[in-house]
Copies of this chain bind each other. A is one copy, B any other.
Amino acid sequence: MSVDPTSHVPLYEQIVEYVRGLVAAGVYRPGEALPSIRALALELVVNPNTVQRAYQELERQGLLHTRKGLGAFVSQNGAASAQDKSEAAVRARFAEGIQVGRAASLPAGRIRGTFEKALSESTKEWGSNDE
């Protein structure tokens, strides 16, 4: 995944969600070091200040803690908390979409059909992951 500078969502929020996804998925486990601010900035082709802001937000949310000279580390309850927040983010997107559909008087069945189509599309990309 990368980051989209044309989106209306601020870059630092996209980075928050990106890192949160990695933690939720277990790519970085509690206690482990996350990529340094400068390294992640290079990887995402973004200013270090922007990554710093994202890390500050993640620290505020209790997902990670930072130590000067050492780096940023996933909190002990970071994985669980990241999963919760990710699922809440998913739900918020769905609620938005449903609201738009409702406002346009799309019947519930049609809304559900649109969702199922999008979901099966995504299965091709990400694999089944049906555990």
Contacts and interface: CB of A to CB of B under 8 A. Distances in A.
Nearest to A85: B104
Contacts of A21: 100, 103-104
Given A24-B104, A83-B104, A108-B129, A114 B90 contact: yes
A20 interface: yes
B98 A119 contact: yes
A101 to B, nearest CB: 4
A72 interface: no
Contacts of A112: 119
Interface string A89-131: 1111111111111111111111110110111011101101111
A115 B116 CA distance: 10
B8 A105 contact: no
A45 interface: no
B104 A86 contact: yes
A51 interface: no
Given A87-B114, A92-B97, A94-B114, 20 more contacts: A8-B10, A17-B100, A18-B103, A20-B104, A24-B104, A82-B104, A86-B103, A86-B104, A90-B100, A90-B111, A91-B97, A91-B117, A91-B118, A93-B94, A93-B97, A94-B97, A94-B115, A98-B119, A99-B122, A111-B119
